[in-house]
């Protein structure tokens, strides 16, 4: 029956990085340091947990389709912008692609970067075009606009996954001015960096800024993403969206989490302190970045060798070899709980050979 499946899905798609975890387990580490998935190691705000529990008895009813309370909390937090929300930023990306991309349409992607853009574009029948980043992994706006010319949509991630590299608001403004399509600025990790791109929304009607509650807000398991969208675009987004995307628990928890500014600030400052320690204490060069993970250049070793050795020592990290456009000597290490971070610093020190 496989002939019934669309050709886009016949090739293997997203493969979860479980290999390193398997190696750690085989080496006898029942509780390895889990630093491969850019998750927040800390639990959600206690206010979010309570809000989720309180609302669960109402789950016999469909949720509020307009996400009214969550959107109101977003406006209170960020100001009077237009927002949409969905099941993770991935859900938002899917919906945006549905509004813009038909068979054969080209979409630009600043590469190397988050793999889901390419998969989602293909699933929509579009064609992803890679726009290479510079050697330091930042984006040259002139090159970006030249290569992306004629595409309807472009993806740019800052801080970028997996490199961690960040863009200035000036670069983003330059792209918005010189690119005819819609720029999707993926800010999944922005809380850990702090650059403020929001004012650009007031100036450009071709900018969408994607955000998530999965990282700084510790709600990855509830799948809540949101985006700042231009006013003209919002009605089209809703026409393409799945009804009732955010469930009652997600809406209530995300609203409470957003209001608990102390919780998120505490987590961000702990992560930033550890990021600095990784930079200071890792014997290999760390790519400058603004996320809750760092990318490390382990040359002359291969990423696979170092990932395997770390796993054998009970530390699970991610090889960047699967990110198109990156040579095979980078690893990505998330900032985890203190004991996990200490385990990484010790293990990488043991592996290092000058
Ligand atoms: N963008 C980037 C750059 C990511 O790394 C991730 C998560 N891995 C996402 C988006 C998806 O986030 P969410 O959990 O909100 O779907």
Using the structure block, give the residue that is written with the tokens 């006898």.
28
**Angle of helix 68-78 versus helix 248-259 axis, rounded to 10:** 20
Question: Do 2-43+262-351 and 60-259 fold alike per CATH?
Answer: no
- What band does 314 get if pLDDT is binned at 50, 70 and 90? very high
pLDDT at 15 over 60: no
- What band does 344 get if pLDDT is binned at 50, 70 and 90? very high
**Burial, 154: exposed, middle or buried (Cβ in 10 Å; 0-12, 13-18, 19+)?**
buried
ipTM score:
0.99
CATH number belonging to domain 2-43+262-351:
3.90.1150.10
pLDDT at 13 over 60: no
pLDDT at residue 17 in the model:
55
* Best probe residue, ligand 1, of 14, 16, 89, 217 (max atoms within 8 Å of C-beta): 89
SS3 340: helix
Cβ 88 under 6 angstroms from ligand 1:
yes
56-72 pLDDT tens trace: 999 999 999 999 999 99
* Best probe residue, ligand 1, of 17, 36, 88 (max atoms within 8 Å of C-beta): 88
Determine the distance separating the centroid of ligand 1 and the alpha carbon of 117, expressed in angstroms.
10
**Whole-model pTM?**
0.96
Largest alpha-carbon pair distance within the chain?
62
CA distance 331 to 164: 12
105-159 pLDDT tens trace: 999 999 999 999 999 999 999 999 999 999 999 999 999 999 999 999 999 999 9
CA distance 291 to 27: 30
Cβ 246 under 6 angstroms from ligand 1:
no
Q: What percent of the chain has pLDDT over 70?
A: 98
Domain boundaries 60-259, CATH class: alpha beta
Cβ 39 under 6 angstroms from ligand 1:
no
8 Å CB contact between 265 and 258: no
Q: Where are the domains of the chain?
A: 2-43+262-351, 60-259
What atom in ligand 1 is closest to the CA of residue 90? 16
């Amino acid at each position: 029956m496989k002939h019934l499946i669309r050709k886009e899905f016949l090739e293997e798609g997203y493969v979860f990085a479980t290999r390193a975890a398997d190696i750690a387990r085989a080496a006898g580490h029942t509780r390895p340091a889990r630093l491969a998935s850019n998750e927040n190691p800390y639990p959600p705000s206690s206010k979010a947990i309570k809000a989720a529990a309180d609302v669960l008895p109402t789950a016999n009813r469909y949720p509020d389709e307009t996400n009214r309370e969550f959107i109101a909390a977003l406006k209170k937090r960020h100001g009077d912008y237009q927002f949409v929300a969905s099941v993770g930023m991935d859900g938002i990306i899917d919906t945006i692609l549905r509004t813009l991309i038909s068979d054969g349409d080209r979409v630009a992607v600043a590469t190397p970067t988050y793999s889901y853009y390419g998969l989602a574009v293909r699933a929509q029948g579009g064609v992803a075009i890679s726009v290479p980043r510079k050697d330091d992994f930042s984006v040259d706006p002139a090159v970006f606009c030249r290569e992306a010319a004629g595409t309807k949509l472009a993806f740019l991630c800052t801080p970028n996954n997996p490199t961690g590299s960040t863009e200035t608001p000036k670069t983003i403004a330059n792209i918005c001015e010189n690119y005819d399509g819609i720029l999707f600025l993926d800010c999944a990790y922005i809380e850990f960096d702090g650059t403020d791109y929001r004012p650009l929304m007031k100036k450009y009607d071709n900018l969408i800024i994607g955000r998530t509650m999965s990282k700084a807000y510790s709600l990855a398991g509830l799948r809540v993403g949101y985006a700042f969208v231009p006013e003209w675009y919002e009605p089209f987004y809703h026409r393409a969206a799945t009804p009732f995307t955010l469930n009652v628990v997600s809406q209530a928890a995300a609203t409470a989490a957003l209001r608990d500014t102390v919780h998120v600030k505490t987590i961000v400052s702990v992560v930033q302190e550890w990021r600095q320690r990784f930079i200071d204490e890792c014997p290999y060069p760390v790519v400058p970045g603004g996320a809750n993970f760092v990318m490390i250049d382990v040359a002359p070793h291969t990423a696979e060798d170092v990932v395997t050795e770390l796993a054998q020592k009970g530390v699970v990290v991610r090889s960047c070899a699967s990110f198109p456009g990156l040579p095979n000597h980078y690893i990505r290490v998330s900032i985890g709980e203190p004991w996990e971070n200490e385990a990484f610093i010790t293990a990488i020190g043991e592996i290092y050979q000058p």
